């Protein structure tokens, strides 16, 4: 009986130890799995945040580019308008010069014809 009792106790101890080990292993595995899941979730969240940040930055850059392009277009339009105004002013100046020249020519012709008439009258008088 004593031998049997000893054997039983050993068996029980062994079983208990095995159970404990199994439980510990299971707990460890669960913990590790949970930790892994948590890490994966954190990584996913970080990736999402990074993507959002990247998207925001990209959008800001696009807006800046659009603003720059718009400003350049406005500057080009202003330059074109200034050039047109300068051309108009030059044309007006040319027209004025031509008119002045025509007036001068007319005056000269008038004076010439007047002097001609005067000299004819003078010579007629003799």
15 within some domain: yes
Q: What is the DSSP letter of 4?
A: H
| Sign of the CA dihedral running 102, 106, 107, 109 | positive
7 within some domain: yes
73 within some domain: yes
How many domains are contained in the chain? 1
104 within some domain: no
| Residue pLDDT, tens place only, 77-108 | 999 999 999 999 999 999 999 999 999 888 88
103 within some domain: no
30 within some domain: yes
36 within some domain: yes
Among 63, 42, 61, smallest CA distance to 53 is for: 61
102 within some domain: no
Residue 35 has pLDDT above 60, yes or no: yes
Q: Supply the range of the domain harboring residue 91.
A: 1-97
């Amino acid at each position: 009986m004593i031998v049997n009792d000893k054997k039983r106790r050993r068996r029980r101890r062994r079983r208990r130890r095995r159970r404990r080990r199994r439980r510990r292993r299971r707990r460890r595995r669960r913990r590790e799995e949970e930790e892994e899941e948590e890490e994966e979730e954190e990584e996913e969240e970080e990736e999402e945040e990074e993507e959002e940040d990247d998207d925001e930055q990209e959008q800001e850059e696009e807006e800046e580019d659009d603003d720059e392009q718009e400003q350049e277009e406005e500057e080009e339009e202003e330059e074109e308008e200034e050039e047109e105004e300068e051309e108009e002013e030059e044309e007006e100046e040319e027209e004025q010069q031509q008119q002045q020249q025509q007036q001068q020519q007319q005056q000269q012709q008038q004076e010439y014809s007047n002097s001609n008439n005067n000299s004819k009258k003078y010579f007629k008088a003799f």
